[in-house]
Amino acid sequence: QSNVISVAPILTKLKNDCAAPLPVLRHVADAMAEDMRAGLLFDGGSDLKMILSYVDSLPTGNEKGLFYALDLGGTNFRVLRVQLGGNEDRVVDTEFEQVAIPQELMFGTTEELFDFIASALANFIEKEGGKFYLPNDRTRETGFTFSFPVRQTSIDSGILMKWTKGFAVSGTAGKDVVACLNEAMERKGLNMRVSALVNDTVATLAGARYWDDDVMVAVILGTGTNACYVERVDAIPKLSSKNSTSGRTIINTEWGAFCNGLPLTEFDREMDADSINPGEQIFEKTISGMYLGEIVRRVLLKMARGGELFGDSISDKLLTPFMLKTPDICAMQQDTSKDLEVVGSILYEVAGVSSNLTARQIVVEVCDTIAKRGGRLAGAGIVGILQKMEEDSKGLIFGKRTVVAMDGGLYEHYPQYRRYLQEAVTELLGFEISKNIVIEHSKDGSGIGAALLAATNSKYD
């Protein structure tokens, strides 16, 4: 068949360019560890920002009382309350609500956005009852998960550097988002204060730690990616006041910005050049859910040009950036039918092309190549973090059970990706050490994690 002959060299080159054999993984892990170290020396010392979270104490399980969590990080605003019963009773009850942020508020003023949030919160607080109980003399306390770039100045304050993800609210950049929220809550007469401002990765770590003392790292693999970990304050040269009582603090690595030694292809370079942030977030663009489908689309488009892969027509859909999504390539990889019918129908419906069996097999190989590279590099990144921690605390990471809490839609829903990630970790660490390293899914830990951080940073006790 002619299509195999002309498409084969593109596939071969793709596989070569994406290959992440052990030496490449080792280089990535070493570079990650080194970049982390550089970022801890001084601000701007590395691609990795290594942001101080000001979270110095993690949940122990003893937390008691009623706490709230708010989560603003995308198109939805989430609120949650939890009644904590201490070591015996643990989570007595939780309740949860989600409100879509009206489109116009994403382009409105700071007051409008935060007033909307405060109103949603007021509605939610009104329904407090049942097993939820606040002593009379107490102010409600909440954790605030805010997943936009913030320069944090304490556990309960942080200045918005810029809006991202389609938000363009006027007047917020340069302001303390906690103050903005507190003011809006005051305008509504709400009896509540923000006691912890956290990033979603940090909240995930806290949520997982509540159930398992060995959790030391948290990684998000969803639309984007990020990781945080527990660091010793004496290993952070750029931290001036080392008055953490635990001697430890959580560092938010912002590892999406990593770019050292990654195996990249012409397709990655073109996608980056066409992106809204060229040259930035290269690790994120190689391993996270927003991009895997788009990389595959670009490969298929090249294969299809000249009529080699899908016959004569190149569809408008195949020409449209981000038409093919990561859940689509994931679904294609799950197809076990003899004729690859699922692959055929996704190609037809999403990419607008007809395909024969040979073409479908090639498409699956392309998906697998991109998912495999992503998973393996994510695994190498995780080992880089563990390696950095181990170097500073010999035996305390590799010599005992250590848990990496994972969350995000990509990790949760893409079995091949998850397997490739685990394989890379095992290859890098070797069989013996990797028995100590537990990489596990911590589903939706971030909501309760933020509430737990409100508890550990409570002004009472």
The whole-angstrom separation of Cα 402 and Cα 213 is 9
Size of the site for ligand ADP (CB under 6 A): 14
Q: How far is the CB of 224 from ligand ADP (least distance, A)?
A: 6
> Could you tell me which stretch among 259-267, 394-402, 407-415, 431-439 binds ligand ADP (CB under 6 A)?
407-415
Q: Which is nearer to ligand ADP, 65 or 207 (CB)?
A: 207
The whole-angstrom separation of Cα 261 and Cα 291 is 19
Q: Provide the strand spans (E) within 181-312.
A: 192-198, 215-221, 225-232, 248-252
Phi, psi (5° rounding) for residue 315? -80, 160
C-alpha atoms less than 13 angstroms from C-alpha of 249 in its C-beta half-sphere: 24
DSSP class of 315: P
Q: Which is nearer to ligand ADP, 132 or 144 (CB)?
A: 144
The whole-angstrom separation of Cα 5 and Cα 303 is 11
The residue with tokens 């040009």 is 305
Q: Is 410 in the site for ligand ADP (CB under 6 A)?
A: yes
Q: Which is nearer to ligand ADP, 74 or 261 (CB)?
A: 74
Q: How far is the CB of 447 from ligand ADP (least distance, A)?
A: 12
Interacting residue with ligand ADP among 60, 409, 422, 438 (CB under 6 A): 409
The whole-angstrom separation of Cα 182 and Cα 195 is 10
Under rule CB under 6 A, which residues in 184-223 are in contact with ligand ADP? 222-223
Q: Is 413 in the site for ligand ADP (CB under 6 A)?
A: yes
Q: Which is nearer to ligand ADP, 74 or 108 (CB)?
A: 74
Under rule CB under 6 A, which residues in 255-314 are in contact with ligand ADP? 289-290
Instruction: Provide DSSP, 89-116.
Output: H-EEEEEEEEEEPPGGGGGSBHHHHHHH
Sign of CA dihedral 271, 275, 280, 282: negative
188 catalytic per annotation? no
Q: Is 27 in the site for ligand ADP (CB under 6 A)?
A: no
Interacting residue with ligand ADP among 61, 85, 149, 327 (CB under 6 A): 327
The whole-angstrom separation of Cα 405 and Cα 397 is 14
With a CB cutoff of 8 Å and minimum separation 6, the contacts of 217 are 205, 227, 228, 229, 230, 382, 385, 386, 389, 402, 403, 404, 405
Interacting residue with ligand ADP among 286, 326, 387, 456 (CB under 6 A): 326
Contact 271, 23 (CB under 8 A): no
With a CB cutoff of 8 Å and minimum separation 6, the contacts of 276 are none
**Active-site residue (options: 127, 162, 165, 435):** 165
Q: How far is the CB of 329 from ligand ADP (least distance, A)?
A: 8
Q: Which two tokens stand for residue 267?
A: 């397709």
With a CB cutoff of 8 Å and minimum separation 6, the contacts of 323 are 297, 317, 350, 351
Q: Is 74 in the site for ligand ADP (CB under 6 A)?
A: yes
The residue with tokens 């013996």 is 432
Q: Is 414 in the site for ligand ADP (CB under 6 A)?
A: yes
Q: Is 378 in the site for ligand ADP (CB under 6 A)?
A: no
Q: Which is nearer to ligand ADP, 210 or 414 (CB)?
A: 414
Q: Which is nearer to ligand ADP, 317 or 413 (CB)?
A: 413
- Residue 423's nearest CA partner among 443, 437, 405, 408 is 437
**Active-site residue (options: 200, 268, 328, 407):** 200
17 catalytic per annotation? no
Interacting residue with ligand ADP among 59, 143, 379, 408 (CB under 6 A): 408
Q: How far is the CB of 1 from ligand ADP (least distance, A)?
A: 31
Interface with ligand ADP (CB under 6 A): 74, 222-224, 289-290, 326-327, 330, 408-410, 413-414
The catalytic site residues sit at: 165, 200
